[in-house]
Amino acid sequence: MSDVTRHGSTFVWGYGSDNGPSKWGQYYPICLGKRQSPINIDSLRTTFNPKLEHIQASHYISPQPNIKTTLTNIGKSIFIQPAIDYSPVLVDPLNSGVFYRAHHLHFHWGASDNYGSENAIDNKYYPIEIHIVHYNIKYQNVLQAIPKPDGLAVIGIFAKIGEGSAGFSWLLQYMQKLQYKDETVTANGFSYSSFLPKDMSKYFTFPGSLTTPLCEESVRWIVMEEPITISSQQSSFNLILHV
């Protein structure tokens, strides 16, 4: 995430009429590229590929409950990053010889439960979209990977209103300490698996970009077809934030 200064003034990207996606390309040219995300996935125009690799949920289960995890209010989302000792590895669904290491998890939401996700399936949006960001292990770190065409993989998970989520119950314990930008808290008990759907066998994959500036076109997207469920109370976690 980046801000740009041009001709003595600073452009701070956001989602308003004066700094939203329609303005980003003026300051971040890549945002006008041909491989930009998010997208609406038209399921009738997708192609079934029986050779795709399965996404293994077991890889995302925390091996021990005392994994140190940092939660940070980054101003536009909550950023969850476990200690380096707990970094699950994802196999590229199109190439079993390419591996991505999990780096962090963050969220996207809207002002209501009707619209909050970035991607959509058949024009259906969800209250929240969760992104698990990975980087290609051929690169030393995520910053080195971001500008590379094969640098990143993101698992996208939708959340809909229903039964409560164990992952969001865990998150809500710490929200009062994360109300303002740059506030950080260290926690235990995090597991990526608590934010994943039960059925990970059905997903859409496509080449795309980061969904916020600088909009680098370096992402292998893996969007889960099955959403997780969260309670209405859990979906309003963003009301605690001053972002």
Within this chain, do residues 142 and 181 fall inside the same structural domain, yes or no?
Answer: yes
pLDDT at 209: 98
Within this chain, do residues 4 and 119 fall inside the same structural domain, yes or no?
Answer: no
pLDDT at 9: 52
pLDDT at 84: 72
The sign one gets for the Cα dihedral 15, 242, 169, 195 is: positive
How many Å apart are CA 87 and CA 103, to the nearest integer?
Answer: 7
Within this chain, do residues 15 and 62 fall inside the same structural domain, yes or no?
Answer: no
pLDDT, averaged per 10 consecutive residues of the chain (243 residues), comes to 51 90 95 97 96 82 79 94 84 93 93 85 96 97 97 98 93 92 94 93 97 97 97 79 62
Q: Count other Cβ atoms within 10 Å, centred on residue 32.
A: 11
* Number of independent structural domains in the chain: 2
Specify if 45 maps to a domain.
no
Within this chain, do residues 91 and 185 fall inside the same structural domain, yes or no?
Answer: yes
CATH number for the domain spanning 112: value is 3.10.200.10
pLDDT at 242: 60
Q: Which domain holds residue 183?
A: 54-240
pLDDT at 145: 98
Residue 207 dihedral angles phi and psi, to the nearest 5°: -80, 140
Strand pairing report for 95-109 and 78-82 = antiparallel
